[in-house]
Structure formats: structure tokens, C-alpha cells
């Protein structure tokens, strides 16, 4: 550095000396010095101009020859450019490697711009969705994938749950789409081929439905014979007890088959969905009457409803869900318990609440309560008379109708089972194309 400074001072001293000599010879000392320094600065400016021109395209032009401090500047610029080129090569190599890895994964991957235009897709996504990069990249995704259910899902901007949809009627292919938003509105789509899973689920539903239908006939015959066998006062107590238990178990089996058939129907996403305005207040009045008969006056059951609040829904399925929630409250709370049924609306939508002051449920069970046949050891046993499918039915009804089922409970503080419907489903609101949340056909 000191050598470069000395080299820079040399030309300056020479310029000053020349200027003084010219000044002495001409008799104009200041003017001669000024002209000499101006010439020196002009040369330096020309060198700086060469450096600037070289910096605009350092790959095509060689570095200009300079001296002094400008030589140090050019050397530092060259060092920085070499470092940037090395980092750029490493970044390109890393990006190419990641692109190759994503291209070869078994799930489809799409990336869209903030405006919804398709930026990039890997091989699996191109195969699943019949995308041609040369033709489709740069187009709006809604033009590339013409599926109305996907368009509704994107417009809703609620990507907490993945969307399952049929993407190819001829190949009968099903995909599950998950979306992650990042940067300024850009989206990453992960697309899984769930055709095999969908087929297995359909096989399971068909098996349960077929088995339930097959069992109905022998069960009907058995119940018929039991009804024809009279039980007189003279009948021995043991025979009467056996007859009563057989009737009880036949009734339980009949209810179980009925619930299994209903659950299979609810799980069939190809089944018809007939949405219509439902008078929920009147429905809840009938459900309360059924609950009072089941309770035989041992529970205090109150009804607080907005009688003018109607819902656009599937009426028979809605009745099954609400009835199961209320009947469960009666069956799983001790005598003397208070049960409150509330139906109201607010700025978030319409809501059904079934509250009880029973013994409550341990928090570790809440997540699994909607599983088929799941029972809480202390309070949910077969002696209550339930089938163990009531909450599973309620959950699937809510999913089919675009609603949400929540369960809140604390040991010793009672329980609250609530159903929340979006404002769009309140009767009188636009209700076109209502679809089960996260599922499409």
C-alpha cells in the first residue's frame, strides 16, 4: 500500500514541477501550475472512464492498465468479481441439484407466481396433470387445470386442509393437493397420487355397506321369532331374562347396522348431496322431545334457539348429526344433569351448542372421540346403549356440509359439543356449489 502511495505521489510531483517550470518561463506562475494539474487530472479521468467502461462488461473487456491508487482499485474490483463468479457458480450448481432432486421426487410439485401463473412443474406433476411445459408454463394455473373444485379451493384461500379431487375421469385418478404460500403471494403445490388409497377406502365402504345389508336379513328373522315367543308370568325368571337380553341385543345390533349404513353413505363422496333450506329450530324441538323421552324426566333439557334462523343443508344428515350430539349428552351424563341446546348466529356464521354439566371428559380422549367405536373407559361404555358411532357420524356430516365439529371438555366441569357453519350456509345467503370441505368429486 505504501509503495502504491509513493507511486501515486511521483506523477503528482512531476506535474507540479512541470507547472512551476512553465510558470517561470512564461512569467505566469499560477497559470502554469493550474494547466499542469489540469492535464494530470484529465489523464486520471480518462483512466477512470476506462475502468467504468470495463466494469460494465468485465467478461468481454480486459482490465485497463493503471498505476498508483487506481491500480489498487482495479485489483480489488477483479478480486470481488472473481469471488462473485465463484459464488454464482456454486449457487447455480446448488440450484441445479435441487431442481433435479425435486424433478425426480414421486410427488408432483408446482410453483406459481403471485398472479397465479404457472412458473415451474416437475415430471410427476406434468404426468399427473397432463402439463406440457412449453405450452403451459407462464399461463394461469386455472387455465392449465380446468377443474371447478380446484378453482373454488384456490379462491377460498383456506389451505389448512388438503383438497382431494378426481383429475382424470377416464383413468379414474385421484389426487390430493396441498398448498404452501411463501414470498409475495407465491405458492408451492404438492400433489400426491392417492388413487390407490381412494380405491381402498371405497372397498372398505362397500364391504361395510354390503355386510350391513347381508346381516339385516338374519337379524330381522331373529327379531321376528323373538316377537312370536310370548313371555308369560309363568315363564321361569331365567328364560324371561334370556328373552329380554336377546331382544335388547337384537335392538342394539339393528341400531349398529343402521349407523354403519349411514356412515358408509356419508363417506361416499360420489353420493348425491341435496342442499335445501332447513328449519333448524323446528328440528331441534323434535330432537329435544326425543331426548326427554329417552331421559324419562331424569335430566333438565333446555332449548334456546333462534326460530328464524334457517340453514341451507342436507336435512336428514343434519338431523342425524344433531340428534346424536343431544342423545349422547343424555346417555353419558348422570341423572339430574342439565343439558342446554343453543342455536344462534353471529358475524362468523351459524352455531349449534350442546352443553352439559356432567362429569366431563379427560383431555387425552378428546382428539379420538370422533373415531369409530372409541370409548372413554370411565364414562362411555356399552351399558349406555350407544353404538359408538354417533360422534363419527356427526363429524362426517359436518365435513360433507362444509362445517366444523368442536369438542371442549374438562373433568368435573362438563362438556360442550359445537357445530359451526359458515355464513354462506345461512338460508337466504348464496349457496351454490356447496361442497364438503377438502373433498371433491
Three-state secondary structure of the chain: CHHHHHHHHHHHHHHHHHHHHHHHHHCCHHHHHHHHHHHHHHHHHHHHHHHHHHHHCCCCCCCCCCCCHHHHHHHHHHHHHHHHHHHHHHHHHHHHHHHHHHHHCCCEEEEECCCCEEEEECHHHHHHHCCCHHHHCCCEHHHHCCCHHHHHHHHHCCCCCCEEEEEECCCCEEEEEEEEEECCCEEEEEEEECHHHHHHHHHHHHHHHHHHHHHHHHHHHHHHHHHHCCCCCCCCHHHHHHHHHHHHHHHHHHHHHHHHHHHHHHHCCCCCCCCEEECHHHHHHHHHHHHHHHHCCCCEEEEEECCCCCEEECHHHHHHHHHHHHHHHHHCCCCCCEEEEEEEEECCEEEEEEEECCCCCCHHHHCCCCCCCCCCCCCCCHHHCCCCCHHHHHHHHHHHCCCEEEEEECCCCCEEEEEEECHHHEECECCCCCCCCCECC
Q: What is the arithmetic mean of pLDDT over 191-207?
A: 83
Please tell me which residue, 397 or 212, carries the higher pLDDT value. Answer: 397
Question: How many other C-beta atoms lie within 10 A of the C-beta of residue 122?
Answer: 22
pLDDT at 77 over 60: yes
Q: What pLDDT, on a 0 to 100 scale, did the predictor assign at position 436?
A: 42
- 381 compared with 270, residue with greater pLDDT: 270
Check residues 41 and 104 and name the one with the higher pLDDT: 41
Region of poorest pLDDT, from 7-16, 80-89, 180-189, 195-204: 7-16
Residue 410 confidence class, pLDDT cut points 50, 70, 90:
confident
80-112, pLDDT tens digit by residue?
Answer: 878 887 887 777 776 666 666 666 677 888 889
Say whether pLDDT at 195 is over 80.
Answer: yes
Domain boundaries of the chain, sorted by first residue: 2-94, 105-193, 198-267, 276-425
Q: Mean pLDDT throughout 386-412?
A: 85
- Are both 198-267 and 276-425 of the same fold? no
The pLDDT of residue 319 = 92
> pLDDT tens digits for 371-394?
877 777 544 444 555 677 888 888
Q: Yes or no: say if 349 and 309 are a contact pair by the CB < 8 Å rule.
A: no
Task: CATH number for 198-267: choose from 1.10.8, 2.40.420, 1.10.150, 1.10.287.
Answer: 1.10.287
Percent of the chain beyond pLDDT 70? Answer: 84
238-255 pLDDT, tens digit per residue, is 877 888 888 888 887 887
pLDDT at 425 over 70: yes
pLDDT at 51 over 90: no
Residue 297 has pLDDT above 90, yes or no: no
Q: Which of 44-48, 231-235, 302-306 has the lowest mean pLDDT?
A: 231-235
The residue-averaged pLDDT of 51-61 equals: 74
> Domain 276-425 carries which CATH code?
3.30.565.10
Mean pLDDT for the stretch of residues 420-432 = 74
User: What is the pLDDT, as a whole number, of residue 30?
Assistant: 72
- Identify the pLDDT of residue 122: 86
| pLDDT classification of 156: cutoffs 50, 70, 90 | confident
pLDDT digits (tens, 9 = 90+) for 314-355: 898 899 999 999 998 998 888 889 999 999 999 889 999 999
What are 127-145's pLDDT values in tens digits? 888 889 889 998 998 888 8
The CA distances from residue 318 to 257, 266, 290, 351, in Å, are: 19, 11, 16, 13
Q: Quote the pLDDT of residue 441.
A: 37
105-193 CATH: 3.30.450.20
CA distance 96 to 105: 15
pLDDT tier, 438 (very low <50, low <70, confident <90, very high otherwise): very low
Write down the mean pLDDT value for the chain: 80
pLDDT higher than 70, residue 431: no
pLDDT tier for residue 59 given thresholds of 50, 70 and 90: low
162 pLDDT more than 90? no
Residue 430 has pLDDT above 60, yes or no: no
Confidence of residue 433 (pLDDT cuts 50, 70, 90): very low
Residue 118 has pLDDT above 50, yes or no: yes
Amino acid at each position: 500500500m505504501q509503495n502504491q502511495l509513493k507511486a501515486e505521489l511521483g506523477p503528482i510531483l512531476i506535474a507540479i514541477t512541470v507547472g512551476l517550470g512553465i510558470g517561470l518561463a512564461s512569467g505566469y506562475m499560477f497559470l502554469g501550475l493550474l494547466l499542469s494539474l489540469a492535464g494530470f487530472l484529465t489523464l486520471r479521468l480518462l483512466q477512470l472512464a476506462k475502468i467504468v467502461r470495463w466494469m460494465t462488461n468485465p467478461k468481454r473487456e480486459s482490465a485497463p492498465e493503471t498505476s498508483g491508487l487506481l491500480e489498487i482499485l482495479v485489483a480489488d474490483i477483479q478480486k470481488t468479481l472473481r469471488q462473485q463468479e465463484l459464488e454464482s457458480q456454486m449457487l447455480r450448481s446448488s440450484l441445479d441439484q435441487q431442481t433435479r432432486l425435486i424433478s425426480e421426487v414421486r410427488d408432483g410439485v408446482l410453483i406459481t407466481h403471485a398472479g397465479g401463473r404457472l412458473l415451474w412443474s416437475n415430471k410427476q406433476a406434468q404426468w399427473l396433470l397432463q402439463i406440457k411445459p412449453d405450452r403451459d408454463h407462464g399461463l394461469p394455473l386455472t387455465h392449465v387445470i380446468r377443474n371447478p373444485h380446484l378453482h373454488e379451493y384456490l379462491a377460498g384461500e383456506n389451505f389448512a386442509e388438503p383438497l382431494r379431487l378426481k383429475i382424470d375421469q377416464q383413468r379414474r385418478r385421484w389426487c390430493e393437493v396441498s398448498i404452501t404460500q411463501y414470498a409475495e403471494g407465491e405458492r408451492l403445490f404438492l400433489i400426491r397420487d392417492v388413487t390407490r388409497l381412494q380405491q381402498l377406502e371405497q372397498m372398505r365402504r362397500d364391504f361395510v355397506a354390503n355386510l350391513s345389508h347381508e346381516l339385516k336379513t338374519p337379524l330381522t328373522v331373529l327379531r321376528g321369532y323373538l316377537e312370536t315367543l310370548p313371555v308369560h308370568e309363568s315363564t321361569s325368571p331365567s328364560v324371561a331374562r334370556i328373552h329380554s337380553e336377546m331382544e335388547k341385543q337384537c335392538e342394539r345390533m339393528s341400531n349398529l347396522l343402521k349407523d354403519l349404513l349411514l356412515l358408509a353413505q356419508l363417506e361416499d363422496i360420489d353420493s348425491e348431496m341435496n342442499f335445501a333450506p332447513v328449519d333448524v329450530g323446528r328440528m331441534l324441538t323434535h330432537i329435544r322431545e326425543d331426548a326427554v323421552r329417552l331421559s324419562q324426566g331424569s335430566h333438565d333439557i333446555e332449548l334456546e334457539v333462534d326460530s328464524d334462523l334457517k340453514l341451507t343443508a342436507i336435512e336428514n344428515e343434519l338431523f342425524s348429526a344433531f340428534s346424536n350430539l343431544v342423545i349422547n349428552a343424555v346417555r353419558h351424563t348422570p341423572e339430574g344433569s342439565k343439558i342446554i341446546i343453543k342455536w344462534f348466529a353471529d358475524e362468523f356464521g351459524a352455531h349449534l351448542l350442546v352443553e352439559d354439566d356432567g362429569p366431563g371428559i379427560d383431555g387425552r380422549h378428546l382428539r379420538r372421540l370422533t373415531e369409530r367405536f372409541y370409548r372413554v373407559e370411565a364414562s362411555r361404555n356399552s351399558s349406555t346403549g350407544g353404538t359408538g358411532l354417533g360422534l363419527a357420524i356427526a363429524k362426517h356430516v359436518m365435513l360433507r356440509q362444509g362445517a366444523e365439529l368442536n369438542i371442549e371438555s374438562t373433568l368435573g366441569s362438563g362438556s360442550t359439543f359445537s357445530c359451526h357453519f359458515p355464513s354462506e350456509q345461512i338460508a337466504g345467503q348464496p349457496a351454490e356449489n356447496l361442497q364438503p370441505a377438502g373433498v371433491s368429486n
